[in-house]
């Protein structure tokens, strides 16, 4: 039977972000190309952040997944499509929250940084929060404090 693009997508939905294991790389929006030919499956990924160390690992995870399913493959990274947080699926946003991260708000191509100052708390949903620093344990996260439930939390930064 001929392989369809959706077969490959289903497989890649099982490859999870190594730093946020509740979200797949498909829901994260970094799979920007799947090309099928007689012999080869070509997958293109795009970096969330230029300096993200997880990218190389994700490339290897994709290759391993396809190898195990018996697909000869080539995985590459390209900036042709520039990743933004709008490319995270609805399912992905839920997965981020499940991991305890406040999901990034949708934006219209321009990120207004004020939105960070009252990021909804992923634990109690209060907006009575404050941003402590725009940098966190990984490049994609900022750190916040909830004045309602008195917990510190991390948010996935909106990126345009």
Q: Which residues pair with 143 in a beta bridge?
A: 133, 154
Find out whether 149 and 123 touch, Cβ atoms under 8 Å: yes
Which residues from 39-58 bind another protein, rule CB under 8 A? 47, 49-53
Neighbours of 159 (CB within 10 A): 18
Nearer to another protein, 70 or 137 (CB): 137
Q: Which stretch binds another protein (CB under 8 A): 18-26, 31-39, 78-86, 92-100?
A: 78-86
Nearer to another protein, 91 or 135 (CB): 135
Strand-by-strand arrangement of the 41-45 sheet: 31-36, 41-45, 73-77
Per CB under 8 A, 68 contacts another protein = no
Residue from the set 63, 69, 143, 149 that interacts with another protein by CB under 8 A: 143
Q: What is the largest CA-CA distance in the chain?
A: 57
Could you give the CA distance from residue 94 to residue 116 in angstroms, rounded to a whole number? 19
Q: How far is the CB of 122 from another protein (least distance, A)?
A: 20
Q: How far is the CB of 49 from another protein (least distance, A)?
A: 6
Nearer to another protein, 25 or 111 (CB): 111
């Amino acid at each position: 039977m001929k392989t369809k693009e959706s077969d490959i997508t289903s497989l890649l939905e099982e490859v999870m972000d190594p730093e946020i294991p509740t979200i797949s790389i498909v829901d994260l929006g970094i799979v920007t190309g799947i090309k099928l030919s007689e012999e080869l499956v070509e997958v293109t990924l795009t970096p969330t952040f230029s300096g993200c160390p997880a990218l190389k690992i994700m490339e290897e995870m994709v290759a391993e997944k396809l190898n195990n399913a018996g697909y000869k493959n080539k995985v590459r990274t390209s900036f042709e499509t520039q990743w933004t947080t709008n490319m995270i699926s609805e399912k992905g946003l839920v997965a981020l929250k499940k991991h305890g991260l406040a999901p990034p708000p949708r934006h219209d191509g321009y990120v207004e940084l004020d939105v960070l100052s009252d990021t909804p708390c992923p634990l109690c949903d209060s907006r009575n929060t404050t941003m402590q620093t725009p940098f966190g344990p990984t490049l994609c996260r900022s750190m916040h404090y909830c004045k309602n439930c008195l917990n510190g939390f991390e948010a996935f930064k909106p990126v345009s």
